[in-house]
Amino acid sequence: MLAELMSPPHIPVLADETLALLDPQPGETAVDATFGAGGHARRIAERLGPAGTLIAIDRDPAAEERFAQLAAEVDCATRFVRADFATALEGLVAEGVRADCVLLDLGVSSMQIDTWERGFSYSYDAPLDMRMDPGQELDARTVVNTWDERRLARVLRELGEERYARQIARAIVRERARRPLETTNELVEVVKAAVPAPARFAGGHPAKRTFQAIRIAVNGELEQLDRALPAAWELLRDGGRLAGISFHSLEDRRVKRFLAERARGCVCPPDLPVCACGRTAEAALLSRRAVVPSPEELADNPRASSARLRAARKLRPEERA
């Protein structure tokens, strides 16, 4: 109940823009990975109609409960797959499922952040957890208290793009030698003490990048994305649309590179009179650049500030010539 009182109403990020690029049609099959609070899924389902199918994916059991409520309220056929999105998408491919549109809504959901006891946020004091799937073994407490200093520094630098990764890792190891770090507030205080004073007041909360890095490491988010992108593409029918919403540069670069590679055609030198590589594009980008939230959306939902949306359409064979 406390978590519900603390949670603001869920607002799906880039909802109109996502719907426009995915363009779900009556009778189509759409896959929402991950479901989260269901904001995007509900809008997509409303477009699919009675002949359409919505497949939702999430590893969080709380999302499955929210999906059951949505399924009772929409007209299309529905299915929920409780798994990480890479495993679920690969499983759907193995089943022979074909989709007309796939949405990859990446990162942690607002619902998870606002459920204070899950330990995702540096704004609430809670046990160090950060697991998207509460049933998995690895949690933030294990990372913070058992990984060696070099490994911690690498995680903070590579997954959080933290400038002071080495100093923070050293401070964590020094503090945990006195007593294990058990709560988010304890970790926040260690990070604050490790970061030079001028940097504590620039670029947002000083622990933001540390929490991002540990969360990504706990949940294997980048490894998941590297598997999920090709699986989602394989799942698409010809003419299908794939969209990805990312919330930090590590995700966005992967989505951008994946879609750009599939939209790339002949790679022969420009002075070669005839194509020798035989390469043809298999995708058409649906936006030249990443779509970002409008000023109006940011006014209503400041959390959307880092969101980036990219999308592409899978070309039909006759379009690839």
Model confidence at 1, pLDDT cuts 50, 70, 90, reads very low
Query: Which residues are CB-neighbours of 21 under 8 A, at least 6 positions away?
Result: 241, 243, 286, 287, 291, 309, 311
pLDDT at 302: 86
Q: By percentage, how much of the chain surpasses pLDDT 90?
A: 76
When pLDDT is averaged across residues 102-128 and rounded to a whole number, the result is 82
This prediction's pTM? 0.89
Quick one: tokens of 295? 């000023």
DSSP 3-state percent helix, strand, coil across the chain (nearest 5): 50, 15, 35
Residues 253-294 pLDDT 10s: 999 999 999 999 776 777 777 776 767 899 999 998 999 999
Quick one: tokens of 24? 């779900």
Angle, to 10 degrees, between the axis of helix 208-219 and the axis of helix 149-160?
100
Highest mean pLDDT among 117-131, 192-206, 217-231: 217-231
d(CA 186, CA 175): 10
Q: Looking at the predicted structure, is the pLDDT value of residue 2 above 50?
A: no
When pLDDT is averaged across residues 200-213 and rounded to a whole number, the result is 86
Model confidence at 35, pLDDT cuts 50, 70, 90, reads very high
Angle, to 10 degrees, between the axis of helix 61-71 and the axis of helix 39-48?
30
Quick one: tokens of 136? 């998995």
Q: What angle do CA 46, 80, 284 make, to 5 degrees?
A: 60
Q: Which residue has the tokens 């594009």?
A: 281
- Domains present along the chain, CATH in parentheses: 2-111+221-319 (3.40.50.150), 113-218 (1.10.150.170)
